Amino acid sequence: LIEIKRQGYQHWALCVGDGYVIHVTAAGKAAGKTPHTSGSRRAWVKKEPLKEVVENDEWYVFNKYDWYHVPFPVEEIVRRAEHWIDKGVPYRLLLRNCEHFVTTLRYGDAISFQVSAP
């Protein structure tokens, strides 16, 4: 999991190798523009170079849920992620955001402390 520190929130992506990530983004927007900043209720899954998604923001590899969720094998995670490329998915900031998307791919569970933390 890649955590990208945006101003006021974190964007999440899934590293799939060779400098690429898979993530949800607003339809018709530039790389890394999240649906919640566009007001959209739909997101598109894209495979893009990490450098384009990150832009000038700080980012980290952060598999923060591994301590209590067992991730799928890497090949399975990538296969699951690639299935969604160029497909639209429902997007709700509090229920189906970018972190929910990547944690579902990695663990099979949609997790986002970003929206469930007090």
- For 49-82, give one letter per residue: b (16+ CB within 10 A) or e: ebeebbeeeebeeeeebeeeeebeeeeebbebbe
Nearest to 33 by CA among 14, 48, 18: 48
> Catalytic annotation on 11?
yes
Q: Is beta strand 58-61 parallel, antiparallel or unpaired with respect to 2-6?
A: antiparallel
Q: Which residue out of 23, 36, 98, 100 is catalytically annotated?
A: 98
> Catalytic annotation on 15?
no
Assigned token pair, 44: 């598109």
**Location of structure tokens 């639209």:** 88
Give the residue numbers annotated as catalytic, written as ranges: 11, 98
